[in-house]
């Protein structure tokens, strides 16, 4: 009985503190000088308004939000990003800048340079250095 109760609490904890939505590159190969297409897959049963936008932060820059385009159960958006970027952060908001999905105040991170272990580690270190800015710009609570 104890094991069943512990299992129940673990599953409840996971469900309450984890969102299943994600943002990822549509094409895993990053091509220099070409606009990158990203896919946003919201959690199941999550209602995304028609006028949803993606808020973006990278390298102390916060460009204008980009509209989400619905495509068969997922959403897509395109960005022209500098080739030197290691990562980019996203949140989803509505047309009035109200937060719709911020991944439990952690934002969505996409690492653009992760082909080798060294590239991924450098990308993660760059992200850590900019956590304060990301928190402020996107209203996140990254520790």
With beta carbons less than 8 A apart as the criterion, state whether 53 and 66 touch.
yes
Q: Is the pLDDT of residue 17 over 50?
A: no
Instruction: Kindly report the backbone phi and psi dihedral angles of residue 99, in degrees, each rounded to the nearest multiple of 5, phi listed first.
Output: -65, 130
| Token representation of residue 69 | 């385009």
Q: Give dist(CA 103, CA 90) in Å, integer.
A: 9
What pTM, to 2 d.p., does this model score?
0.81
| 5-9, 18-22, 92-96: range with highest mean pLDDT | 92-96
| Token representation of residue 5 | 């109760």
Q: Is the pLDDT of residue 14 over 90?
A: no
Write down the mean pLDDT value for the chain.
Answer: 85
Q: Is the pLDDT of residue 31 over 90?
A: no
- Higher pLDDT pick, 51 / 33: 51
> How confident is the model at residue 72, as a pLDDT?
83
| 3-7, 26-30, 53-57: range with highest mean pLDDT | 53-57
Q: Is the pLDDT of residue 102 over 70?
A: yes
- Higher pLDDT pick, 17 / 135: 135
With beta carbons less than 8 A apart as the criterion, state whether 19 and 54 touch.
no
10 by DSSP, 3-state: which? helix
């Amino acid at each position: 009985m104890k094991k069943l109760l512990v299992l129940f609490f673990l599953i409840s904890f996971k469900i309450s503190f984890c969102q299943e939505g994600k943002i990822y590159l549509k094409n895993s190969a990053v091509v220099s000088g070409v606009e990158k297409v990203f896919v946003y897959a919201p959690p199941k049963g999550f209602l995304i308004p028609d006028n949803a936008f993606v808020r973006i932060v990278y390298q102390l820059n916060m460009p204008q939000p980009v509209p989400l385009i619905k495509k068969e159960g997922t959403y897509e958006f395109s960005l022209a990003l500098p080739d030197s970027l290691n990562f980019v952060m996203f949140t989803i908001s509505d047309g009035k800048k109200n937060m719709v999905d911020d991944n439990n105040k952690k934002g969505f991170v996409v690492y653009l340079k992760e082909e080798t272990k060294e590239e991924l580690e450098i990308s993660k270190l760059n992200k850590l250095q900019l956590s304060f800015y990301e928190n402020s710009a996107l209203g996140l609570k990254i520790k």
